[in-house]
Amino acid sequence: MPTEISASTIAAFWNQVIVPYRVIERPIMLTETTGRARHETWEEWGGPEPARLFTRDELVTHLTELGVEADGDTVRFWEGSAVVPRSIKRWHDGATRALYPDWFAPLVIGLRELQDAGLALAEIGPVLREVHERAKTEWESGEHFADVLAGEVLSELSKRVLYEPARRFYLAFERLIGAPVDRLRVDLTTHGPERTIVASYHAETVATAPRAR
């Protein structure tokens, strides 16, 4: 079954990342994540006990259900390149098999999206590890860790995929109207049967922004 992200995770992402997106006078640039990840297993990455373990074949099937293109050889390549944590080997269903946690899928989704955004695998590995560390910090007992990690992946993608177009829009808007931008809102909508996602940017100047009462 596809991974379900809880409504609270989506609401937190929307309220904290999209709606109050503010642009400052000198937009900050994203800090480059440097360093090379060690070839660690997902157990060494740490975190709560996964709710479910997948074999590699089950993981690939699960990813396919989520619309993510990846086969077993690709997953092994990512593991060998330290882009994602290595599987662990355990006795499972009558044989020793490579096993993956249920939170592995959000990592792969983030990996593919970061690739589409132009990042190299050597850059993506440290980013995913950092995102996982943040998720461990945010996780609370009783929460589904895969949901928490999915929320952190969404937050990271919002910065790396939405930030640069928004920054360019901000600078162009200021040049065109000759006034500083006080607030920039990003709206995401879907269109058509293929559910094409469209990002709309709405800028407010100091003069047009609603005044607090």
Enter the pTM of the model. Answer: 0.65
Q: CA 191, CA 14: separation in Å to the nearest integer?
A: 19
Q: Is residue 49 part of a domain?
A: yes
Question: For the segment 19-66, what is each residue's pLDDT rounded down to a tens digit?
Answer: 333 333 333 333 344 444 458 999 999 888 898 899 999 999 999 999
Question: For the segment 103-144, what is each residue's pLDDT rounded down to a tens digit?
Answer: 999 999 999 989 888 889 999 999 999 999 999 988 887 788
Instruction: Quickly list DSSP for 185-206.
Output: EEEEEEETTTTEEEEEEEEEET
The total of structural domains in the chain comes to 1
Q: CA 137, CA 47: separation in Å to the nearest integer?
A: 9
| SS3 assignment, position 91 | strand
As a whole number, mean pLDDT of residues 5-11 equals 45
Q: Is residue 103 part of a domain?
A: yes
Q: Is residue 176 part of a domain?
A: no
Q: Is residue 175 part of a domain?
A: no
Q: Is residue 137 part of a domain?
A: yes
Q: Is residue 154 part of a domain?
A: yes
Q: How far is CA 144 from CA 92, 101, 127, in A?
A: 23, 12, 21
Average pLDDT value for the chain: 77
Q: Is residue 196 part of a domain?
A: no
Structural domain span for residue 45 = 7-168
Q: Is residue 109 part of a domain?
A: yes
pLDDT at 180 over 70: yes
Out of 11-15, 115-119, 184-188, give the one with best mean pLDDT.
Answer: 115-119
What tokens were used for 163? 């930030």
Do the beta carbons of residue 149 and residue 103 sit within 8 Å? yes
Contacts of 69 (CB under 8 A, 6+ apart): 63, 112
